[in-house]
Structure formats: C-alpha cells, structure tokens
Amino acid sequence: MTDLAGLTAAQLLDGYRTGRFDPVDATRAALERAERIQPRVNAFVRLTAEEALARAGESALRWRRGTPAGPLDGVPVTVKDILLTRGVPTLRGSRTIQEHGRWDEDAPSVARLRERGAVFLGKTTTPEFGWKGVTDSPLSGVTRNPYDLSRTAGGSSGGAAAAVALGAGPLALGTDGGGSVRIPAAFCGVFGLKPTYGRVPLYPASAFGSLAHVGPLTRDAADAALLLDAIGVPDPRDGTALPAAPDSFVAALEGGVRGLRIAYSPSLGGQVAVRPAVAAAVRRAVERLAHLGAYVEERDPDLTDPVEAFHTLWFSGAARVVQRLGPRERALLDPGLREICALGARYSALDYLAAMDVRRDLGRRMGRFHTTYDLLVTPTLPVTAFEAGAEVPKGSGHRRWTGWTPFTYPFNMTQQPAASVPVGTDADGLPVGLQLVAARHRDDLVLRAAHALYAAGVAGVPAPPAAPGRSEPAEAQ
C-alpha cells in the first residue's frame, strides 16, 4: 500500500494522471495525518475537513474526465493563518481578532491555488501577527518540533513547516519577514523558499512593509517550483507585485550547478558563532556542490550586521499592527509583542528613514557581490531547534529572536531570494539547514541549486515519526 501522506505533490499528481489513486484518497490520508499529529504537535489553528473533501471530490471528477483545473488540481495544501482564506477566519494568532465576520476574500496566493483546484486542509499556526522566529501565541499555544516535542518548530511559519514534515499536506503557504519560512524549514527538516520580494503578491499589505514575503514550504525544491509557478503571478491588489516570470520555475530546475560561481560564508566573516554540528553538515554539502562542478570559494559578503536597522523597521511595523487597539485589547497581546510595540512607537520618521538608508546600502553591497558570485551559501541558522515556548535559546544571552537568526533577516532587507535546504542532523537527530541566496529576480538559480542537492542525495533528512512521541512534554499545548 502506498503511504499517500508521504508523497510529494509531484508524486501525487503522477498518481492522479495514471489513475493509481485520486485526490479524495490523498486528501483523506492528509487529513488523517493532521488529526493524528495535532494533539501533540499543534500545527493547526483549524482543519477544514468537510470543505477539503468536497473540493477533492470535485477534483477527482475533473481528473476522471481528463480536464484538471491546473497543475495543482487535487493537491492538499495548508495556509498559514496570516493569509486571508475565503470562508475561514484568519485570526493571525491573536485574541484581539474576532472569528465572526464576512471572511469573503482570498489573499492572492490563496486565490491562485483555489483557481487551480488545490485542496485546502486548514490554517496553520503562527505567533501573534507573525512577530517572532518561534511559533507560540496566546490564541493557539505552542507548536512543537516534529523531531522532538520538547523543542520549537521555529517560526513564524512553524505550523506550516511541521505539517509538511509530518505528512499533513505536501505543500504549505508561509510568510517570511525576517526568516519566517526559512527558520522553521531548517528546524523541521523541510525545504523553504523566500522568493524575491514581489514575486508572490501580498494582500492586504503587511504592516512590516516590503520586509514581508509569501513563500512555499515543501518536501523538496521541485515541489516548491511547482507551487511558485502557481502563486508567482501578478494580482491587481498588490501594486508592488512583479510581472509574471518569463519562464517556468519547474523548467528551470534542470541544469545542475556546473559552472556556477558560489561563495561560501560559514560565519559571515566571523560575526556568527555556529555550532560545530551545523557547520560540519553545511560544509559537507558545500563540498558536494564543488564535486558537482560549481566553482566554490570561501568568501564573505560585505555585510555588517544590520540588526539595529532591522529592529527599527520591524518594531515600527509591529507598533503599526496594534495601533488601533485599546488598553483592554492590548492586555490580551503576547507580552513580548507588547514590549516591541512600545519600542516601535517611540521611533521617529527620521529613525525609520535612517534605517531605510542602511537597507538601501546593504542592497547595493549585495548587488555588487552578486556580479561576482551567482550564489551565496551560509548556514540557515547557527543552531538547531531549542526548547519550545522560548523566544531565544536558554543561556544564549540573546534578548530577541534576531539574536539567533543573523543569517536570515538581512536578506529580507535586501529583498533577495533565499532558501533553506535540509542537509543533515546533529547528534540529537535535529535537522540542520543550509541557506542558498541569489541576486534579486534569480529565484531560478536558488531552486536549481537546491534541486541539484536533492538529486545528488545531499539534501533531505530522515522523516520524523508520523505521531511523534520522543521527549514528549507532560502537557502538550
């Protein structure tokens, strides 16, 4: 018997085409897996089983008639509870948003998937308004790591990454304002892509401005390319959206890395202390890129840590999110969010513009860097997953989540495409991520290099248990 919950989207579509199984079978398998993992992992805010099975039935009929609605017809998908989904409340991890309402509009990425016949399983968890790099919120509690329930899944797309890792749908929509797709992808052993800003339209506009991207979390780079082809098209509601890509991202996967110029920066010039197990796994993968024909040089970009400028932009955005809330509603917020909102409200317009100057200069330096190098490779994170329910690792000395994510948020400031690829595990069996970064608009290169790592057997980690139990806490929220 084929484990349908363990298949990629591409494998499901092949099964639909050949009639070995249909979208109803695949949807039932994904829903059963989601219901099985939910009590322990807490990846979902809500499951929409009735709607999912109805859409799957419609899709099965189209496949039998030979008229699928698109290349993702019948594929189970999850949606982070930041993105609007018609007919389903979008609560953004906050008790300040009421469930009752019209909920009659899809975000652009959700609308494109609906048009193409994708099956929506439900909404995945997020920290409140997506404000931090781990996933816990006053609304839905703590989302846990598929490999060890005592650890965090990362964030802010933690529910999306955990769902993909555990077979509750092969495709997930996440958002990334400072690493929020790549962080949980690295911690949960899946592939996560932050596309070039504007490649995937976003509506409503994020309060975090052009730091915020929509991107795929999937089991491999091929599925991410399939998803990006579907969602990476303009939408009139987003005036910053890019024109449609000239070519298919799926078609761009082939070609390998032979001849590509790759800069490998293990620690951003000594600025980041990387755990030995992480450094070793990333270095092994980089060596394989060289073996596959890439020109690899250990070289650091001219990148002074822009964390203060990022904080100005990020905290100001958070303050804007809650600006209209009264004292009673503010008392319901995550205490950490309340703290950064208070800081953000103190910044002046001149502070914000000075941070934008830092951002523009960083973009200029990275643009110049990519005239020499096609790709930059770094660890995605300097650590593996730490204790669940904490914003920072215990004993790290960090105050905010940006302290342990120095490889991710700079590339939100530069708007470059960046992906996390799983390339091994540490001694505790926790996944390690490698980050691939390319110049703006070269999402195809990121996907191509990642696909080469998968094809060579370098990318990917052992699957977690379907119903994890290792290091199970006394009370899983």
Residue 180 falls in the annotated catalytic set: yes
Closest by CA to 203, choosing from 212, 192, 216, is: 212
User: Two tokens at 454?
Assistant: 């998968």
Residue 80 falls in the annotated catalytic set: yes
Residue 248 falls in the annotated catalytic set: no
**How far does the chain reach from its first CA to its final CA, in angstroms?**
33
- The alpha-helical segments, DSSP class H, found in 276-306 are 276-291
Burial of 397 (0-12, 13-18, 19+ CB in 10 A): exposed
Distance of CA 466 to the CA centre of its chain: 21
Q: What is the DSSP letter of 432?
A: E
The sign of the torsion formed by the CA atoms of 37, 38, 42, 43 equals positive
Integer Cα distance of 43 and 464 in angstroms: 14
Q: Which of 94, 140, 156, 206 is catalytic?
A: 156
Token match 């370098």: residue? Answer: 458
Q: Which of 137, 157, 180, 265 is catalytic?
A: 180
Tell me if residue 51 falls in helix, strand or coil.
helix
Residue 186 · residue 432 · CB < 8 Å: yes
Sort residue 411 into left (φ over 0), alpha (ψ -120 to 50) or beta. Answer: alpha
Write phi, then psi, for 90 (nearest 5 degrees): -115, 100
Cβ atoms < 10 Å from Cβ of 57: 15
Residue 192 · residue 179 · CB < 8 Å: no
The sign of the torsion formed by the CA atoms of 304, 305, 311, 314 equals positive
Integer Cα distance of 219 and 5 in angstroms: 12
Whole-number Cα distances in Å, 371 to 112, 128, 367, 375, 376? 34, 39, 7, 10, 12
DSSP 3-state percent helix, strand, coil across the chain (nearest 5) = 40, 15, 45
Q: Which of 59, 80, 137, 206 is catalytic?
A: 80
Catalytic residues: 80, 156, 180
